[in-house]
Amino acid sequence: MASVAPAAGPARGLAWARQDPALTATVLVLWLLLGLFVVFPLAMLTARVFWDGGHFSVAGIGAILTDRHQVQAFWNSLLLATLVGLLGTLVGFVFAFTVARGGLPRWVVTAVDGAVLLPLISPPFTTAIAMVFSFGPRGLITYELLGLKGVTVYGMTSTLFSEALTYFPIAYLALRPILAAIDSNIEGMAMSLGASRMRVFRTVTLPLCIPGLANSFLLLFAASLADFATPLILAGNAFPVLPTQAFLQITGMFDLRGGAVLSLVLLVPAVAVFVLQRYWVSQRFYVTVTGKGAGQQPFESVAPWVRWALVGACLAVTIVIVYLYALLLYASLVMAFGANHAFTLGHYGVIFTEGFKAIRDTLVIAGFSMPLGGLYGVLLGYLVVRKAFPGRRTMEVVSMVNYALPGTIVGIAYLIAFNDPPVELAGTALVIVACYVFRYGPTGIRTTIALLQQIDRSLEEASQSLGAASGTTFRRVTLPLILPAFFAGLGVVFIRSMTAISATIFLVSISWTLITVKILENMTELSLGPAAAFSVLVIVIVFVVIGAISRGLRFFRAPGSEPVTSLLGG
């Protein structure tokens, strides 16, 4: 029988649209949203950078990029982001492996989840402030406990420690569902053939985690590149980084073009790491969930002494986290930390009166951002991995742009793009919600992609061969298997909606303000008590919301998988 040649390029390009209208509509809507909230602001910002006085100009750019101080800040940013990515991914993997393979009681896992979430559910500069209180010239540990004088906490080491402690929970969120999805039968078979536990870990478990490890490094690398608040507090003049230089250029010197140039330079390493990560992961095969095997059998993947070593390492990090946040709670309950330590609840009275509007506005915005961000992450991650359509890889790259950009530049770009017609959204809640969804949704995208690389396509192909449409297959087959990624996306978007500052500080208005902006205002005015009280309130709110949703999702599970018990994806 003669074979029929495939349709030509244009005809083939229309074929996918005719065969799957639901896919076509979803792709078009996603491209419209990405164009409006990612490409358009960046294009407007780029035009502001290269367009001066009605004419194209690169004079200002050349002056900044040839400044030796700014060049040094660029290399410092790369060094810091790389070290944060490596250290944060390592710590996140240790925590995730301990929880997934350590055979810990449920209450211990719950306690670990709570401790790990603390840095993630507070403003990103909280650990930096606690470090100054602890290790600064008049720090609780360096001065009060050890009696050391002239100690400085500023520099690369403290900045690295603070950022790694702040962002390693992202790696934990990404890696825990990856480890949970690995079929324990594979490890058990390797061990039954005579392999030691260490060899099974090195040749089976660790290689299967490569997608998660690579995605975690990418997310932490981008997060460090985007962080200006922590280096602003801890890096000092001896260790300048580009995000802080860009922020100071804009807010201190009122040089919008100069700050925009410094921030846009950070796109180069962010895109380079993304491309390298994709190439590395694409060279190997990671499918472990096929739907063809028997149920998973229990497997003792770690020896008792290794289990205790892992638990000890996690306990040490947990103690440091609890100590730093205990200082925050203490500061909210005394008259003036470091001066008058008399007990008071007055700071909480202030935030529930003068700061009530910020609390209400933040909860409304976070409530809308959370489901939209989770759905966006899962849909886009599913499409770029499982569906073939024109511009698929471009969509994946574009979706990561707002996450890779420093928050300062995202905020400035949104301010420029949406402050005037034809799309005038400045001063509304919508622009803040869009900023959160398209800036922090990539966490769900990367986790979804990593999980889908472990799920055999034959599961979805079987559903479609029985006549199910792509939407039905996604809803009834794929979505239950990637629920951990969906819940991780929900959790991260909600948490960042409650704690982000770098982008949204440029988007608040009289009509809509945020708790993090009030915290920064209180810190600027040296009102440390109300600032600490606001921070404690944010932590309590996030814990309550995540706990309530987790209880509602306790019995949602895919056949053959573990029940979903929390937004952490486990």
What pLDDT, on a 0 to 100 scale, did the predictor assign at position 7?
A: 46
Q: Identify the bridge partners of residue 556 per DSSP, sorted by sequence position.
A: 564
What pLDDT, on a 0 to 100 scale, did the predictor assign at position 357?
A: 93
Per the prediction, the chain carries an average pLDDT of 79
Q: What are phi and psi of 422, to 5 degrees?
A: -85, -10
Confidence band (pLDDT; 50, 70, 90) for 188?
A: low
What pLDDT, on a 0 to 100 scale, did the predictor assign at position 184?
A: 65
What pLDDT, on a 0 to 100 scale, did the predictor assign at position 514?
A: 92
- Model confidence pLDDT, tens digit, residues 303-332: 777 788 888 898 899 889 989 899 889 888
Confidence band (pLDDT; 50, 70, 90) for 565?
A: very low
Which secondary-structure segment (H or E) carries 56? strand 55-56
* Non-local CB neighbours of 17 within 8 Å, separated by 6+ positions: 24
What residue ranges of the chain are covered by domains with CATH 1.10.3720.10?
19-48+345-570, 71-289+301-337
Architecture of domain 19-48+345-570: Orthogonal Bundle (1.10)
Distance of alpha carbon 539 from alpha carbon 545, whole angstroms: 10
* Preceding omega of 269 cis (within 30 degrees of 0): no
Confidence band (pLDDT; 50, 70, 90) for 281?
A: low
Query: Could you give the percent of the chain with pLDDT greater than 70?
Result: 83
What pLDDT, on a 0 to 100 scale, did the predictor assign at position 14?
A: 56
Q: Can you tell me whether residue 506 is helix, strand or coil?
A: helix
Closest by CA position to 77, among listed 257, 233, 224: 224
Burial class (CB in 10 A: 0-12, 13-18, 19+), 530: buried
Q: What is the mean pLDDT of residues 287-300?
A: 51
What pLDDT, on a 0 to 100 scale, did the predictor assign at position 529?
A: 83
What pLDDT, on a 0 to 100 scale, did the predictor assign at position 426?
A: 85
- Model confidence pLDDT, tens digit, residues 425-445: 988 999 999 999 998 888 788
State the DSSP code for 569.
Answer: -
- Model confidence pLDDT, tens digit, residues 71-95: 888 899 999 999 999 999 999 999 9
**Whether pLDDT at 559 is above 50:** no
Out of 1.10.3720.10, 3.90.950.10, 3.40.50.300, 3.20.20.70, select the CATH number for domain 71-289+301-337.
1.10.3720.10
**Which of 146-150, 282-286, 296-300, 458-462 shows the lowest per-residue confidence on average (mean pLDDT)?**
282-286
Distance of alpha carbon 71 from alpha carbon 567, whole angstroms: 41
**Which of 163-177, 406-420, 471-485, 524-538 shows the lowest per-residue confidence on average (mean pLDDT)?**
471-485
Higher local confidence (pLDDT), 516 or 144: 516
What pLDDT, on a 0 to 100 scale, did the predictor assign at position 555?
A: 54
Which regions of 248-385 does DSSP assign to beta strands (E)?
334-336, 340-343
Tokens in use for 402?
């707002």
Q: What are phi and psi of 67, to 5 degrees?
A: -75, 120
- pTM comes to 0.74
Distance of alpha carbon 217 from alpha carbon 280, whole angstroms: 13
Q: What is the mean pLDDT of residues 195-214?
A: 75
Distance of alpha carbon 283 from alpha carbon 289, whole angstroms: 19
- Helices and strands of the chain, counted as H and E runs: 30, 4
